Amino acid sequence: MLVNPTEPSLTHPSLTVIVPTRNRAENLDGALSALIAQQPFSDYEVIPVDNGSSDGTWECLERFASRDPRIRPVHEPRPGISFARNAGIESARAPLVAFTDDDVRVGPAWVETVVNAFAQYTNADAIGGKVLPEWPVAPPAWLDRSAWGPLALVDYGDAAFRVDSGRPLCLIGANVAMRRSAFAEVGLFSPDYPRGQDQEWLERLYLAGGHGMYVPALSIASPVDVNRMTRRYHRRWHFGRGRFLARMRLAQLEATRVGRPFDVPGHVWRTALTESLLSVSAALRGLDARAFTHECAAWCRVGFIRERIESLARAALQSVRVALFGDQTAAERRSTARSVLPGTLAASRAILRTVSVSVRSRVASRNASTRAK
């Protein structure tokens, strides 16, 4: 054991645990009760972040705070997990910051395991571990470990290893911790990404030369929403992930030797077609799970392609706006359009009248010539 139990320090804790929550008051009792019952380590604080709830979440947090001074609720009205996490980070008083979810009941030694891991891996900027499933019902046959990504589940095995730019695996936000100094180096979580905030932040860390550690001893169980155990949900998730990767512009995905039609690397087009064909082939052979795996891989590439094409369309539209209106604001553009539109329409009508008169004159002249003959 690397860390001895200590009395809690209310002003200088060793670890801050951040729990974002929004309209999940029914989950908080179990989640917070597990967090304040950590043994034997007690030198930590818990910051639950109410992310604009309307179901009595704040009142629940206040009741817990009145019973245990280590619980320090924070209110963040802007919706979004990144805003909630960032509000918690900005309120944190410890040099180590851990994250978990409001529906997770961490084990009694979870905090101690986090602190010990940082003590063991003194150069690591982040620590993450297993996120295992609590199934509400038996999962379908196709939902094996290879399909856990959309469920935010992780099990990289039972051996610890380093994650960095050479092995850029994602450490899941339900069971991850960072040194607070790392946020000063690479910034907070980006609200620009509605999904994949963990991976986007880790990519910035890796690009800056930082690294994390996967520590299998740091393990939690996360309840799986039954609505996420459907093929429809997994298709949508992979499509959205493709769009996320297109916005990320990761160097390893952007490299290509065969051109980039519509700003899409050639290998993405090729893989989209290949995975689609493999899905059809597997389905024809009765390999249902394999067919769906290939189908999801194809959906990811389709999402990537869709995002890039829409991005080009948005850029073209912006260029047209700039050409027509310069750097005017939206209100100024509307005003300009209202002032210019009547004259433009009048000019258009005049042109149409001129063309119409010309056409009628030519037709009449041709008819007269025909009668004369």
Each residue's pLDDT expressed in tens, for the chain with a length of 373 residues: 333 344 455 678 999 999 999 999 988 999 999 999 998 888 999 999 999 999 889 999 999 999 999 999 999 999 999 999 999 999 999 999 999 999 999 999 999 999 999 999 999 999 999 999 999 999 999 999 989 999 999 999 999 999 999 999 999 999 999 999 999 999 999 999 878 899 999 999 999 999 999 999 999 999 999 999 999 999 999 999 999 999 999 888 898 888 899 999 999 999 999 999 999 999 999 999 999 999 999 999 999 999 999 999 998 888 887 877 676 676 766 766 566 567 666 766 777 777 677 767 776 676 666 666 5
- Backbone φ and ψ for 372, nearest 5 degrees, come out as -65, -30
Give a three-class secondary structure readout of 99-148: ECCCCCCCCCCHHHHHHHHHHHCCCCCEEEEEEEEECCCCCCCCCCHHHC
Structure tokens at 170: 């994602």
Residues, the chain, total? 373
Per-residue pLDDT, 279: 95
Cα 27 to Cα 139: distance, rounded to the nearest angstrom: 23
Residue type, 136: P
Per-residue pLDDT, 8: 53
Peptide bond just before 223 cis, omega within 30 deg = no
> Which phi-psi region, left, alpha or beta, contains residue 325 (left: φ > 0; alpha: ψ -120 to 50)?
alpha
CB contact at 8 A, 328 and 336: yes
Read out DSSP for 301-318?
HHHHHHHHHHHHHHHHHH
Cα 45 to Cα 321: distance, rounded to the nearest angstrom: 51
Per-residue pLDDT, 39: 86
- Backbone φ and ψ for 246, nearest 5 degrees, come out as -65, -40
All structural domains of the chain with their residue ranges: 15-225, 231-325
Helix (H, G, I), strand (E, B) or coil at 61: helix
Cα 245 to Cα 239: distance, rounded to the nearest angstrom: 10
Per-residue pLDDT, 216: 97
Helix (H, G, I), strand (E, B) or coil at 37: coil
Residue type, 299: W
Please tell me the pTM assigned to this model: 0.81
Per-residue pLDDT, 3: 38
CATH T-level assignment (fold) for domain 15-225: Spore Coat Polysaccharide Biosynthesis Protein SpsA; Chain A (3.90.550)
Torsion of CA 59, 175, 199, 119, to 10 degrees: 120
> Measured in whole angstroms, how far is the alpha carbon of residue 256 from the centre of its chain?
25
The neighbouring-strand residues paired with 20 are 49
Residue type, 201: W
Cα 7 to Cα 119: distance, rounded to the nearest angstrom: 18
- Backbone φ and ψ for 99, nearest 5 degrees, come out as -130, 145
Eight-class DSSP state of 210: -
Helix (H, G, I), strand (E, B) or coil at 56: coil
H-state helical runs in the chain? 25-36, 57-67, 81-91, 110-120, 180-186, 197-207, 231-248, 251-254, 266-284, 288-325, 330-372
